[in-house]
């Protein structure tokens, strides 16, 4: 009997991570779903009737490198070697940097950047040893262009993207793929918490918000079958973001216009609450 494919997911108690963990379950994968909020994750798994014979949940603080090793061991003991690691855990705290404290700096870099790096390292060691595996790291459109008002989040996601692209070149000859996904704003609790922050206006400047289903379609339609180095969603905003990063001085005049669009969208969303 052929072994079921195994996916290890972080940030699975909410937002993108939760939806994509469910998408793997629905497609018959064995899924080891993790989150620092273990109780919320376990409650969701029960609510969705995820089959216990091929789904397990566990607590994982991605900031703890030892916890990564122990949790990956538990996953492999339960289901065997991991085929796909999906690093979806992340946080965002909007605000102007000079108003934020050191704890906010640590929060973004420890969870978004170091958490992804620890997990990628630990999983890659196991995958390289058998010459197979795919690591998918969730970055952001903010990994492509600087976003004022979200400077700490931008810094952490630039780190995720740069690290992923560099490490991908190291492990590709050894049979392991790394893909970094850079989506625009997605309708999740992370988006909801930014509505009341004018500093986060650029988050709301897109013509439309992505749905978690858009990421599901891209993941299973393109990322897993083709194992690309990087994908942006949507591509049009990805090219705009890359242009902004390539020539920040030239594209600076766009920022006030995009900010006005974002502030208007925030007002509409607050009115609809």
How far is the C-alpha of 111 from the C-alpha of 64, rounded, in Å?
A: 9
How far is the C-alpha of 168 from the C-alpha of 89, rounded, in Å?
A: 20
How far is the C-alpha of 88 from the C-alpha of 17, rounded, in Å?
A: 5
Active site residues: 153
Give CA separation, 224 vs 5, 196, 241, in Å.
Answer: 12, 36, 24
Helices (H), the chain: 15-26, 38-47, 65-79, 102-107, 115-130, 151-171, 189-192, 212-218, 224-226, 235-246, 248-251, 254-272
How far is the C-alpha of 225 from the C-alpha of 73, rounded, in Å?
A: 26
DSSP string, 190-236: HHHTTTT-GGGGGGG-SSS-B-HHHHHHHIIIIIHHH--SEEEESHH
CA angle, 187 as apex, 181 and 190 as ends, to 5°?
Answer: 80
Rg of the chain's alpha carbons, rounded to an integer?
18
CA angle, 61 as apex, 27 and 48 as ends, to 5°?
Answer: 30
């Amino acid at each position: 009997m052929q072994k079921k494919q195994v996916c290890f997911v972080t940030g699975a108690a909410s937002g993108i991570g939760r939806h994509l963990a469910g998408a793997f379950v629905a497609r018959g994968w064995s899924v080891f779903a993790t989150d620092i909020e273990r109780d919320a994750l376990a409650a969701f798994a029960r609510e969705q009737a995820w089959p216990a014979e091929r789904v397990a949940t566990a607590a994982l603080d991605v900031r703890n490198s030892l916890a990564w090793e122990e949790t990956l061991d538990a996953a492999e003991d339960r289901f065997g070697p991991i085929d796909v690691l999906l690093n979806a855990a992340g946080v965002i705290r909007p605000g102007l940097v000079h108003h934020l404290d050191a704890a906010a700096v640590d929060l973004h870099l420890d969870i978004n950047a170091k958490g992804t790096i620890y997990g990628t390292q630990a999983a890659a060691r196991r995958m390289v040893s058998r010459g197979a595996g795919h690591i998918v790291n969730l970055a952001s459109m903010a990994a492509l262009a600087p976003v004022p008002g979200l400077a700490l989040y931008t810094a952490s996601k630039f780190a995720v993207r740069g690290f992923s692209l560099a490490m991908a070149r190291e492990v590709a000859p050894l049979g392991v793929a790394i893909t970094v996904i850079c989506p625009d704003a997605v309708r999740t609790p992370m988006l909801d918490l930014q509505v009341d922050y004018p500093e986060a206006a650029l988050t709301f400047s897109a013509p439309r918000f992505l749905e978690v289903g858009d990421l599901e379609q891209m993941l299973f339609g393109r990322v897993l079958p083709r194992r690309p180095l990087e994908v942006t969603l949507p591509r049009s905003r990805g090219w705009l973001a890359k242009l902004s990063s390539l020539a920040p001085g030239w594209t600076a005049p766009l920022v006030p216009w995009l900010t006005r669009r974002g502030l208007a969208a925030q007002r509409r969303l607050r009115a609809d609450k």
